[in-house]
């Protein structure tokens, strides 16, 4: 029997089971990290170049050397390796990577097989009786159709979480959709890829509107499909329809209780509504492997932060930021957390790190601008706000910030019109954060009571981030206003009630049970 188990220094690697152990304890090496390790194992101790690694591990996806470098970094972290003095994976400058020692094949564990022999024999008796049927079934199993191959390859591209690969996925989904207009996988895949354009890659709401049309077709054709309802919810989510999105996600979970992605998506929207205990409950109530939900860990960190557990929040934010450099939510969440904690130098470095990983988001640019204002560098702040506007040309807040902090005084007529337009838009806008823009405009118009009223409205709609309001220079002129103190007190009361619910709940995470109630 050919072995699939190898020894690499103090590691045991089972290529068939995709398992890595040290002293009998499994290490968290899976997915692309394991495929990278297996590729190096197959080539023993020779140097493997970037092109060869990209072809063996990532193809047919198109990636660059930075992607390989980041994945090697993640593999080293999972193995407990030190890049400065590597044991398992060495960097060979200008050439590629190689193992730190030749892998040694391990013999088959014969005593264990002997111990299992009675059970194996019983299984073999049953298998012998059915072997003809088994081979017949295998022979008669239909080969994958072109349609299924298209969709499977499209899902593979979409799962990589990169703009270019999302476009490759969308082209394949659209091709599959032309051949089978009612195929639920093609409809939902094409819809999700379009929603991702809006939600993840800043293309504007038109893509999400197209996604909604496809998702509505999917639900109409397949009303009992959890996938269809979840896709409909995602399109509504990207269009800012909180109630419609929650309804879709909750319907998907009722149809498929194991749909953890929809459960976590609903949790995010509960969080935005200020329902922090409900959000955390949904995020800890996973039915499968929580690690498979990419954004869930960041959401739990955010809920911990808002509920007043900063140490636990920091540990989770840092974990995602260090181990998942391609996670856009972690690349935004960690710098934002540091900013709200007043750790401006660390926040600035984290923003630079996030950008170096390819995360170009308006949220990071705005954060950069606020840090510049706190440092008294108004010119740098203006450049940052202009960048945010460039990244999200469809968004309102970057335009407001660029104008309020521009080189020229604000035109009073523009300001009055902007306030009126913003107020009108808020009538149908369920997002609490939208009220913050109105508060900024009213402050610029010297209407402090109106600004406080807008912040109070934000709290009523679910805003719970008192730390941000305290730190942000955008609201510094309100710090001595009694109404601003009332806003912070209102947040504190609501958070305290949710915090108590969490600490008393049977599902309360163990890491929070040791925290003394405030």
**What number does CATH give the domain 146-256?**
1.25.40.10
Residues 6+ apart with CB under 8 A from 502: 276, 277, 280, 281, 307, 508, 512
**How many alpha carbons fall within 13 Å on the CB side of residue 452?**
17
Residue 433 has pLDDT above 80, yes or no: yes
pLDDT digits (tens, 9 = 90+) for 20-38: 998 888 888 888 888 899 8
pLDDT reported for residue 111: 37
- Is the separation of the CB atoms in 166 and 157 below 8 Å? yes
pLDDT mean over 97-104: 85
**pLDDT, greater one: 204 or 348:** 348
The top-scoring range by mean pLDDT among 67-76, 113-122, 380-389 is 380-389
What are the CA-CA distances from residue 185 to residues 142, 162, 181, 216, 219 (Å)? 19, 20, 10, 13, 12
**What number does CATH give the domain 5-105?**
1.10.10.10
pLDDT reported for residue 144: 52
pLDDT digits (tens, 9 = 90+) for 133-181: 343 344 444 445 777 888 888 888 887 767 888 999 999 999 999 988 9
**pLDDT, greater one: 373 or 135:** 373
pLDDT reported for residue 319: 92
pLDDT reported for residue 15: 83
pLDDT reported for residue 136: 36
Sign of the CA dihedral running 227, 430, 305, 368: positive
Measured CA to CA, the distance from residue 262 to residue 189 in angstroms comes to 15
Residue 341 has pLDDT above 90, yes or no: yes
pLDDT digits (tens, 9 = 90+) for 196-219: 999 888 788 899 999 999 999 999
- pTM equals 0.70
pLDDT mean over 45-70: 82
Residue 114 has pLDDT above 70, yes or no: no
Long-range contacts of 405-414 (CB under 8 A, 24+ apart): 405/369, 405/373, 405/378, 405/381, 406/382, 407/382, 410/444
Measured CA to CA, the distance from residue 460 to residue 470 in angstroms comes to 18
pLDDT mean over 329-337: 95
Residue 517: which pLDDT band, with cuts at 50, 70 and 90?
low
DSSP 461: H
pLDDT > 90: percent of the chain: 59
Token duo for residue 222: 């397949």
Percent of the chain that is helix, strand, coil (3-state, to 5): 65, 5, 30
Residue 463 has pLDDT above 90, yes or no: yes
Residue 117 has pLDDT above 50, yes or no: no
What are the CA-CA distances from residue 363 to residues 447, 458, 480 (Å)? 26, 19, 27
Segment among 2-11, 76-85, 193-202, 331-340 with least mean pLDDT: 2-11
pLDDT reported for residue 137: 42
Q: Mean pLDDT of all residues in the chain?
A: 87
Where does CATH 1.25.40.10 sit in the chain? 146-256
pLDDT reported for residue 516: 54
Residue 350 has pLDDT above 90, yes or no: yes
Give phi and psi for 95, each to the nearest 5.
-125, -45
Give phi and psi for 98, each to the nearest 5.
-150, 160
pLDDT digits (tens, 9 = 90+) for 403-424: 999 989 999 999 999 999 999 9
What are the CA-CA distances from residue 88 to residues 41, 57, 238 (Å)? 11, 18, 43
Where does CATH 1.10.10.10 sit in the chain? 5-105
pLDDT mean over 444-457: 97
- Is the separation of the CB atoms in 240 and 260 below 8 Å? no
- Is the separation of the CB atoms in 40 and 52 below 8 Å? no
Measured CA to CA, the distance from residue 252 to residue 250 in angstroms comes to 5
């Amino acid at each position: 029997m050919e072995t699939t188990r190898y020894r690499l220094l103090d590691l045991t690697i089972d290529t068939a089971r995709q398992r890595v152990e040290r002293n009998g304890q499994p290490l968290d090496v899976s997915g692309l990290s394991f495929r990278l390790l297996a590729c190096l194992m197959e080539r023993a101790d020779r140097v493997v170049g970037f092109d060869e690694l990209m072809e063996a591990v990532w193809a047919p996806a198109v990636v660059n050397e930075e992607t390989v470098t980041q994945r090697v970094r993640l593999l080293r972290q999972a193995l407990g390796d030190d890049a400065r003095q590597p044991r398992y994976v060495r960097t060979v400058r200008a050439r590629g990577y190689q193992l730190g020692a030749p892998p040694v094949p391990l013999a088959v564990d014969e005593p264990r097989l002997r111990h299992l022999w009675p059970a194996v024999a019983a299984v073999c008796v049953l298998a012998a009786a059915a072997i003809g049927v088994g081979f017949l079934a295998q022979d008669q199993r239909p080969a994958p159709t072109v349609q299924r191959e298209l969709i499977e390859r499209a899902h593979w591209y979409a799962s990589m979480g990169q703009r270019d690969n999302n476009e490759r996925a969308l082209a394949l989904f659209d091709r599959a959709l032309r051949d089978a207009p009612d195929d639920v996988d093609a409809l939902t895949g094409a819809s999700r890829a379009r929603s991702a354009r809006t939600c993840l890659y800043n293309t504007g709401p038109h893509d999400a509107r197209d996604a909604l049309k496809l998702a509505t077709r999917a639900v109409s054709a397949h009303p009992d499909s959890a996938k269809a309802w979840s896709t409909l919810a995602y399109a509504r989510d990207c269009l800012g329809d909180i109630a419609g999105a929650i309804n879709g996600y909750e319907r998907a979970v009722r149809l498929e209780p194991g749909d953890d992605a929809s459960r976590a998506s609903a949790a995010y929207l509960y969080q935005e509504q200020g329902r922090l205990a409900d959000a955390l409950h949904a995020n800890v109530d996973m039915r499968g492997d929580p690690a498979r939900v990419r954004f869930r860990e960041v959401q739990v960190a955010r809920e911990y932060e808002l509920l007043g557990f900063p140490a636990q929040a920091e540990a989770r934010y840092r974990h995602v930021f260090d181990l998942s450099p391609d996670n856009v939510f972690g690349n935004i969440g960690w710098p934002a957390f540091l900013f709200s904690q007043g750790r401006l130098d660390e926040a600035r470095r984290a923003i630079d790190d996030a950008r170096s990983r390819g995360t170009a988001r308006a949220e990071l640019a705005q954060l950069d601008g606020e840090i510049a204002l706190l440092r008294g560098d108004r010119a740098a702040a203006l450049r940052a706000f202009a960048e945010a506007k460039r990244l999200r040309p469809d968004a309102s807040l970057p335009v407001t910030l660029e104008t309020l902090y521009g080189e020229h005084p604000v035109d009073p007529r523009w300001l009055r019109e902007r306030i009126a337009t913003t107020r009108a838009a808020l009538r149908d806008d369920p997002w609490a954060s939208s009220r913050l823009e109105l508060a900024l405009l009213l402050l610029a118009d010297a209407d402090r009571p109106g600004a406080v009223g807008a912040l109070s409205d934000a709290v009523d709609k679910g805003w719970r981030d008192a730390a941000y309001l305290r730190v942000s220079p955008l609201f510094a002129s309100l710090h001595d206003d009694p109404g601003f103190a009332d806003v912070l007190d209102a947040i504190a009361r609501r958070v305290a009630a949710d915090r108590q619910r969490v600490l008393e709940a049977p599902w309360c995470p163990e890491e929070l049970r040791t925290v003394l109630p405030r």
